[in-house]
Amino acid sequence: MVKVSIGTKEECNWELPDDLYYHPKDHIWARVEGDVVVVGLDAFGAYAAGRIQHLRTFPKGRKVRKDQAFGNLESGKFIGPMRAPVAGEIVEINQEVVSNPSKINESPYEAWIIKIKPSNLEEDLKDLPHGEEKIKAWMDKEIEEYRKKEVLKCD
């Protein structure tokens, strides 16, 4: 588990499981489970977005490329795409989370969004942060970028 903290506010402490892979641009996590990849939004992404109000995904059966949007997320602070960490076919959508997207804010690693049957898994995972050292290095850079933009309210 990688622990990231900024300042003293409780909401500015995040944990990112180091057994997951992370899409570095959108804070999308990926967990390989057998022949599918489970996909969700990480704790830092959920904090940065704010209370998630709407979630829309492409339909089951849709093929996506790595880095292509598989849906959109809307909160009070953010409207934008969620990008696929791997290429493949969407084989399942978590309708419970789509219907109640604030579940992501409450439990980001339990409230998965979609499952993808990957078409090029080994290659697609190569450049995604994974493991304590790589996740920590990526998050250190992310936090610095967010601080420069003055969007973190953690001090």
Q: State how far the Cα of 51 lies from the Cα of 92, in Å rounded to an integer.
A: 24
Give percent of the chain with pLDDT exceeding 90. Answer: 81
pLDDT tens sequence across 20-47: 999 999 999 999 999 999 999 999 999 9
pLDDT band, residue 155 (cuts 50/70/90): low
Our count of domains for the chain comes to 1
Q: Is the pLDDT of residue 105 over 90?
A: yes
108 part of a folded domain = yes
First to last CA, the chain: 23
CATH number at residue 108: 2.40.50.100
pLDDT tens sequence across 109-120: 999 999 999 999
7 part of a folded domain = no
